[in-house]
Structure formats: C-alpha cells, structure tokens
Structure 1
Amino acid sequence: MGNFKFAMTLLVKEYKKSAFYALTMVFAIAVCFIFFNIMNNDLLADPGAVVGGATWNQVNVPLSTTLSFIIICFCCFMIFFANSFFISRKTNEIAIMTLSGNSSFKSTKYLIYQTFVLLLIAAPIGLALGMAVTPISNYWMFHYLGIEASIYHIPSAAFMQTIVVVAMILVALCVFASGYIYRNDISSLLQQEKAMDFSDKRKLVIPSAVYLFLYVFGIVMMFMNEHSATAYIAPTGVGIVGAIGLIRYALPEYIKKFKEKKLLEKRYALIYVSNLGYSIQRAILLISLMMISVTGMIAAIAANQGAPREYITGVIGYIVIIILLITSIVYKFCMEAQTRKTLFFNLWKIGYTRKEITKIIKYEVFYFYLVLLLIPMIYIIIISGCFIYHGEMSVAFALGVIGVYFIPVVCSGLITYYNYKKAVVAPIHGGKNDGK
C-alpha cells in the first residue's frame, strides 16, 4: 500500500481524531475571511485610515484595523495549536511506521498528506461559511454605523488575502510536521500518549505561595493604578504568571499530597482528581490565552464606546475569540478522552460499573470547567466593575459581556461531557457490570 493511500485509509478510519481539527480549521478560516472583509470593505473603512510617517511614532493605524489583524493572527495560532495536538495523537502510528522500516522522510510525507487533505477540505468550507456569515456581520455593522448599502458587498481582496493566508498556513504546517518527526525518536513517540504526569524540570524551584501572591497581587494592582483602558494590561499579565504557576506547579503538588492523605480510599475522587490535574496542566496555554484575550478585549471595548467602528469590531472580536478558544478546549479535551479508553476499560474490568465510570467523568469535566470559569472570571468581574464605577460601562452591558463568556463555557462543558462519555463508556459492553 502506497504512503498516500495508507495515510488516507487511516484518516478515514480514525475520522474522530481529525473531525474537531478540521472543524477548527473551518471556523478559523471563516473568521479570517470575515475580518479581511472588515479590513478591506470601503463602506467600513475608518476615516482615520492607516497613515505612514517618517518614524514609528508618526504611523497611525486605526484600532479597528489593529483588532482585525490581531484576530486573524489569533485564528492562525488556533490552527497551529490544533495541528500540534492532532500530530501528538499520531505518535503510535508514526512509531509503528518507523519500526516497520519507514524513513523519517516517508513519515513526514504521511503527516503532510493528511494535513494537506484536511486543509483542502476545510478551506472551501471555511470560505463558504465566511461568505454566508459576512452578510450578517455587515448587517450588524451597517446598522450600528448607520450605513445604507447592500450587506452582500464583499471586496475581492478578502478572498485573495484569505487564500494567501491558507497557503501560508499550509507551508507552515508542513514545516512543523517535518520538524516534529525529526525531533522525536521511537522511544519518545511511544511514550507521549502514555504519559499522564508532568515532571518538574525547574532548576530554581519557586514556592507555591509566590504564585498565589502574584495572582492576588495582580488584582491589587488594578486598584492601585489610575483608571484607563491600558491600566489593566500589566495587572492581568502578573495575574496570568501567578495562575500559570499555580496550575503548572502548585496544583500538581497539592493534588499529590491530597491524594496521599485523603483520597487513597476514595473510590471516585482518587481517579477523577488525578485526571483533572493532568487535563488542567495540558490546557495551561489555552486558559492563559482565554484570560489575557477576554480581559484585554473587555478593556478595549469599554474604552471605545464612543468610537463606533472600533467598538463594534471589538464586540465581534470578543465573541469570536471566545468561540475559537472554547472550540480548541473542547477539541483538546475530547482528544484526551480518546487516550483514556484503556484506563476506564480496566476500571470496569476490576469492578467499576458504567454508572460509576460516568460519575468519575462527570466530576472531572465539572471541576475542569469550573476552573476555566473562575480563574478568568474573577478578573473579568473586577475589570468590568472598575469601568462601571467610572461610568464607562453600564451594568446591563457588563452582564452581557460576562454572559457571552459564561454561556459558551457552560455549553462546551456539556458537549465535552457528552463526547467524553461516548468515547469511554459507550464501548464498554457485556458482563454483570454492564448495567447499573
């Protein structure tokens, strides 16, 4: 069987591994198209268009253009992130191919074939979705800005720039796939999917209390600084450093001690707490991005309520970023669930019922999304409260902003629970433990 045919056979056979990845690409490409339309649409052009100068201080770039560019870059990053996780779930296949005598070049081609086909499928669907949603985006923006024009007016530059971005992404993904193959040997490939913990490789071990202090100090800094749209960037950055430290280093240490002292005889907690710690650590990057993106967008939106173009672009960007990040988190969690089939099957073999396994999954998913809600939500509420206090944001708008974050997270939790349960509980059949 040829390399290409083998790659396509496994891609179809294990379609669940690639479904969320393809959906991420579809949504990201659609969002790129929508924001290229905002950047290139003459009807939405900012009166203070990009102006050059002899020095950087003389260059003027409208915030709406800057936000659109940042969101497009963010979409590209989400594709790279999804690709990274997609490839990491292919380690056993690549290791087996290597043991069978395939060269690194053939393994690289195997990954490139699958990536190319998925992108070839996702690109036209993403463009079509973007074309379908763009009139809705135009309607909102035209209505808010008082523009009377056809909502179906889409500049040709939006198509060309989206195609160029897709081509650049394809090249970057091919380079990434090649680098991944050459960086990992057989031993590391076989161990990657089995590893369920992170070793602390720090040369300088910082006490956990320092990370807690940084997280709290970030909140204190918000009240110490003079109120402005940019005054919350540094405090949020400090808070993120603290949050990352708590999740990456303090939480595993706490979980380990807590398990040894309290959970050794707990039938459910010992398992779901261990899985929870691993899942949270694997999502550190996404949780950090969620925190900095959401808080930054809220500040940008609140500060530009008097600038219609920047304001409406910020609102759309805020919604899009949340959906992108939530989609990536669901994808990551569901892919992790695929690797835990053996774990839960073995639990069933030693006496756990399907109902008990479902209970373990429910607690793990619930506490994961509780962490995802609480860590950024504390900062979101404080920043919104500061803008309300200074009369730059209404309570109704703040509740809407919080709701836009809260509702997708809750919905994604339900979706994750359903897919997780379907992945590990549904395959368990037979025996007296199959029922209740």
Structure 2
Amino acid sequence: MTIHKTILVIFGITGDLAQRKLIPALVHMSNAGHLQHTRIIGISRRDISVTQVLTASPEATQLANCLQVLTMDVEQLLEYQKLSASIATLKQELGADTQVIFYLSVPPHASLPIVEFLGQAGINDSSVKLLLEKPFGVDLASAQDAVAQIQNYYKEEQLYRIDHYLAKEMVQNIVAFRSQNAIFRNLWSREFIEKIDIVASEKIGIENRVGFYEQTGALRDFLQNHLMQLMALVIMDVPTDLNIKDIPAHRLKALQSIETLQPDSFGDYVKRGQYEGYIQEVGNLESTTETFVAVTLFSSDPKWHGVPIRLATGKNLAQQTTEIRIYFKQAHCAESNLLVLHIQPKEGIEIDLVAKKPGYDKAYDNVALSFNYRNQDNRPVEAYERVLLDALTSDKSLFTTASEVIASWQILQLVQERWAVSAEDLTMYQPGTAIEALF
C-alpha cells in the first residue's frame, strides 16, 4: 500500500459529518502512521482554531501537527485565491508531485457550487481529486445534469463518489466470501437460489433531519444508493482472479442487467409507507414522503433470471439491522437453507443448516453456523477510515462511478414518475412494526 504525498482539504471542517466521522477517522490514521506525508486544510466560514476543531478528539495530538484551518467564504470566487495560495505553500514543503484531495463535507445544495468555483479558480489539474458525498441527484435528470456540470472541470478518474456502505468491513467481505469459497461460488445462481432480500431496518425515526428527510424520503436517502450497491455486489460476476480495479465495472454491469419495472406489475413490486405521527413531526399534514419503501427487482442475466431481489428500508421499525438474506431452494423434503450476511450492527455471517438431533430418533433440527467480526482480534477499519485511505492510495474500487449513479436512477425512474402523480399506494404503519410485515 503506497500512500502518496497529499494535501487534504476538507470543506465543512466544523460540520456534523466532519466532527462525527472524518476527524475520528483521521485521528486513527494519524496514530497508525498513515498521515506522515499528509497536510490537512480545514475550511471554515468562521474564525476558529485547530484546538477548537479538535475539541471532541482528545487523542488528536499528532493530527494537530498536520492540520491548519483556513477561514473563507466558499460562495465567493475571489476567496479561492487564498485557498490556492495555501495549497501552493504546502506543495513547496511536500514537493511538486503532491496530490490535492478536496473532501466536500457540506450540505447537498452547497456541493456543486464549490466544485464550480474550484474549477473556475483553476484548481483542477491532474493532481486534484474530489471526494463527493451523496446524494448524487434526486432523480435521473438531476443526476445527469450534475454529472455533466462536474465534467466541465474534472475528469471521471479525478472523482471519488462516496457510498460509505461500500467501505464497511462486511460489505467488502461480500466479494471475498463469494470468490474465495468454492462451496458458495458454485451455488451462486438461479439454479440453487430461490430469492434474495436486502433489508435495512432502522429503529430510529427522522430525528433532527426534518427538512432534509421531508425533501428526500426513504427511496432517495437509502434504497437508490446503499441498497442498490449491495444488490450489485451480490449478483455481479466475480471471477476468481478478479482485480479490485475491475469491481466498479462489474457492479455497473449488474445494475444494467436489472429489468425495467412495468406499469401493470407496479402494485405487486413497489410498496411504500409512512409511520404514524410523521406528518405531525415534520409539521406538514399533507406530506406524502415515504419513511418505508420496498422494491422487487429482476435481472435479465440468465444466471439470475426469475429470481426476485427485494430491496426494503424504513424508519421507526422494530429492529436496527442491515442484512442480506440469501434463500436457497428446498432440496426434496428438506427445509430451505438461509445465508445471512449481517452488514450492521453486528458484522458477520450466519448460515442456517439442518442437522440430526442427538439420540435414537431420526429427528432433525435447525442449527446455525456463525462468524462475527467483532469477536476477532483485529479492530475492523471503520468506513470513513477506509474511504480516506483508499483516496490517499488512489484505490477507486469502493467508490461509485457516474455510470453506476445513472443506472440506479434509471431503474427507479418509473417509481418516481408514478409517485409524482398519485399517493394512493402510500400506507400507514405503526412505529415498531417489523419490516417484514410491510413487504
């Protein structure tokens, strides 16, 4: 693993994401010796010191030595001259071959204007990378517009679109699990698998994200990105000699194989709901924003033809879990075997098998074989550590491409069109409902 000399510029250094995720990740990386040739510029609207930025991170002594804060108004083009000068000074220290990474840890509406200002200021040469947080558009048209707008200044190879779910330890293990275990590699098709469920159930409601969630909903917030990417990893082709650089192309091929939803089957394959009390919580009695959504999809790939792939996510439900459930077909009179890949909160793998009970009788019972990451000696690398480290090392395998973003929105285009004209299919559910009861 080669970590390049880097200037990391974080827009929104005092924001929620930076304080909760990025700074703790950088502290771990610094203490592990991964930032020896990295300098960090934190961008803030208000005058603030490095000590104040790191107040919530008592172990950040080493990180403080490579961090500086630049106060600037990101909505003023002239302000980017200050940023360019700061970068030039650090390049003199580190060397001309230093890469510059911009992490846009800002609200969605602020992201594209910053990209434009950077481009207009000429801070877009080949040494520059952009780390962009979701959402990548709110529908197909806006996603296409955003892609075109960014490509006015930056090439696709400079863009690192973050889906932090892809960086979770267990999600990375999906490819390894499939490719390195012959027992499953040879069973991974419609011949042996009956159906696939990819489920993200949250016990919490929308909490303090009222404005954001009312404009977004479960489909845009979670299903279009996280669950679509998990689906792609499950059904994509995985050659035994797969190079990690090929993973995005294989994910894209899997997404492009998904059949277009048809109007006559819409009611059977698309479900949405809203938990009771939501409209009072957001102060909009006419709200039709979904807090639960489930979509059943099918692939045109002969390997998966006819296998239903159900994606479901929701808030204010009975459990807090994200998992992939692979239901194998029944053999003769035996029960179906179930493979569960637990993404969070307890990362691991569980396989339900059938075995004979001890004793004289020929009686059988279900037994579970399980593996839990948290029981291992090594600390799992947190998602944002992986995101940052991969950007520093130019590993793009866990970042989504423009083509993947467009493909996922194309799959859901009919859903959004139908929802825009009618809310007849929106059902209410009680907080604490099991997600399985809704789809």
Question: How would you bin the TM-score normalised by the shorter chain?
Answer: under 0.3
Which of the pair is proportionally richer in strand? Answer: 2
Structure 2 length-normalised TM:
0.24
Higher relative helix content: 1
Scaled by the length of structure 1, the TM-score of the pair is: 0.25
